Amino acid sequence: MCLAIPGKIIEIKEADPVNRKGKVQFGGVVREVHLGYVPDAKIGDYVNVHVGFALSVIDPDEAAETLRLWNEIAEKEEEHRHK
């Protein structure tokens, strides 16, 4: 039940900061999402959304870093195999 789905912010309706809302696109589906908990999120950012609330902005650098680090492990595995 704690699943949060990543989606892209395509519209932000500025209101008072607490009630900030916007439209978030998940694949082909667009939903209205509460953005009050991600005050720095901008249009184009990806956010993790749970029960209608964005809980975090997905950090593209950290995501790339995770994938890069794992490539490194994978390469080490390759080397190991050829030893």
**Positions that interact with other proteins (CB under 8 A):** 1-4, 6, 8, 18-19, 26-27, 34, 36-39, 46, 48, 50-53, 55-56, 58-60, 62-63, 65-67, 70, 73-74, 76-77, 80-81
Shortest Cβ 61–other proteins spacing (Å) = 9
Comparing CB distances to other proteins, the nearer of 12 and 58 is 58
Comparing CB distances to other proteins, the nearer of 11 and 65 is 65
Please name the residue that has the structure tokens 């978030």: 24
Shortest Cβ 67–other proteins spacing (Å) = 6
Backbone angles phi, psi at 20, to 5 degrees: -60, 130
* Nearest alpha-carbon partner for 22 in 51, 64, 54, 59: 54
What's the rounded Cα separation, in Å, for the pair 41 and 47?
Answer: 8
Q: Which residues pair with 31 in a beta bridge?
A: 24
